[in-house]
Amino acid sequence: MPPVESIVPPALFALSSAAFFKAVHLPYKGRLYVAPLLFGSAVLSLQTSHYLTWLTGMNVLWALFSCIWIHHATSVLYIDQLSIPRTASPWISAYKIWNDPQRHLNRIALQRREETCSPTSRIWFALRRLSWTVSCWLLQLSIVGPLLSIYFTFNAEDFAPSRQILIRRLLSLQPEPPFTAREMQIRFYVSVYWIWIAYIMLELCSTVLALFFVVVLRLDNPEDWTPLFGSPLQAYSIRRFWTKFWHRLTVAPCVSSGRLITRRVAGFRPGSQHEKVFIAFWAFLLSAIFHVVADWAAGEPCYPVDDMFFFIANFLAGAVESAIGKRLEHAMKKSKNSKVRWLFRSGIVRQIIGYAWVLGFMFWIAPKWQYRKLHASLLELQIQSW
């Protein structure tokens, strides 16, 4: 049975949401008076996320959710200062803004009366979402998880600090510690498993919320709940991994706060290349900060440098891809060799090379991000077992 204190983080979030519903109807000055209650309860919800440790992974997920919520509320109420159109339903529109961190809706959509959705459409929506989510979790619980536990018996030494290093050891004639097949297999597992587990956990949360708001409360229509993730087949570059495949929950608030800096502080021209680069950097930087805060608040091993390194390295990899891509495009146009031009224009060849590059990059960077956390967690388990 879940401990009683498990209701504290959701209750505090509900209080913060109630303050949001009130604030969105107020002018800017009135919103400032509501801010202490809105953000105070949200921060307390974040700080009490460790009460959810009993449900594996939920403490960190809730802490990340709280960080995203605080940023979303800040951008909606105080940066972009969104308001509800006079012709729109006040509370339904407030709900739509509250529940739309990706900013799919615009003012026209808020004013438009909701089209009725047939019960059959809602049932089919529920069946589609449930079938996919249940299939993913059956795969995890019946195949992926058991196979990993059978094949690997992890210990703290598998994730020792010396094993984070890859390139320097590859360049060494006598790498220390020496490479083993087991180490390469574990490194590959860490490189891809974080993507899979984040995918199924967020997909589960999205499905539960979608069914609640579409089927139970009927506040939304099925088309309001688009999939969080894109197709993994689109992730044949680091940039496409983050922009085409990965979820976009934090993008709109990051664009909002990023533009506040570029236009009011740095004085960049709106829409300029400098602004676009900074906003991309800002999104990765905030993601790193959110992960650091989430680990700390959830009571998990927290290594700020590792989180920062992972996300900034991904930003730099995307920037390098853009620069190299432009150079290659220019070289292709100048090349008189038809085979070279075919090679660059061939979508299949580019995708194969791209997938190899993304996998290789994650093979290098993910252990630098995850190994110290896994090492600390396994050491703690070993100490407890003694």
Q: What is the pLDDT of residues 163-193, one digit of tens each?
A: 999 999 999 988 999 999 999 999 999 999 9
Which range among 96-105, 107-116, 240-249 shows the weakest confidence by mean pLDDT? 107-116
Q: What is the pLDDT of residues 258-313, one digit of tens each?
A: 999 999 999 999 999 999 999 999 999 999 999 999 999 999 999 999 999 999 99
Instruction: Give the model's pLDDT for residue 86.
Output: 81
Instruction: Give the model's pLDDT for residue 335.
Output: 66
Rounded distance between C-alpha atoms, residue 314 and residue 312, angstroms: 5
Instruction: Give the model's pLDDT for residue 382.
Output: 81
pLDDT at 229 over 80: yes
Helices (H), 119-237: 119-139, 145-151, 167-171, 181-210
Domain ranges of the chain: 1-113, 122-223, 230-386
* Local confidence band at 383 (pLDDT 50, 70, 90 cut-offs): confident
Kindly state the tokens that stand for 266. 């740095």
Rounded distance between C-alpha atoms, residue 110 and residue 151, angstroms: 52
pLDDT at 10 over 90: yes
Q: What is the mean pLDDT of the chain?
A: 92
pTM (whole model) above 0.85: yes
pLDDT at 114 over 60: no
Instruction: Give the model's pLDDT for residue 71.
Output: 98
Instruction: Give the model's pLDDT for residue 343.
Output: 65
Rounded distance between C-alpha atoms, residue 21 and residue 90, angstroms: 10
Instruction: Give the model's pLDDT for residue 68.
Output: 98
Average pLDDT on 27-38 reads 98
Q: What is the pLDDT of residues 343-362, one digit of tens each?
A: 666 678 889 999 999 999 99
Rounded distance between C-alpha atoms, residue 199 and residue 136, angstroms: 9
pLDDT at 318 over 80: yes
Rounded distance between C-alpha atoms, residue 136 and residue 196, angstroms: 10
Kindly state the tokens that stand for 288. 């790193």
Helix (H) or strand (E) holding 310: helix 304-334
Q: What is the pLDDT of residues 37-87, one digit of tens each?
A: 999 999 999 999 999 988 888 999 999 999 999 999 999 999 999 998 887
The one-letter amino acid code at 22 reads: K
Which range among 2-6, 194-198, 200-204 shows the weakest confidence by mean pLDDT? 2-6
pLDDT at 113 over 60: no
Average pLDDT on 239-251 reads 96
Of 240, 328, 89, 182, the closest CA to residue 97 belongs to 89
Rounded distance between C-alpha atoms, residue 27 and residue 31, angstroms: 6
* Local confidence band at 89 (pLDDT 50, 70, 90 cut-offs): confident
Over pLDDT 90: what percentage of the chain?
77
Instruction: Give the model's pLDDT for residue 183.
Output: 94
pLDDT at 108 over 60: no
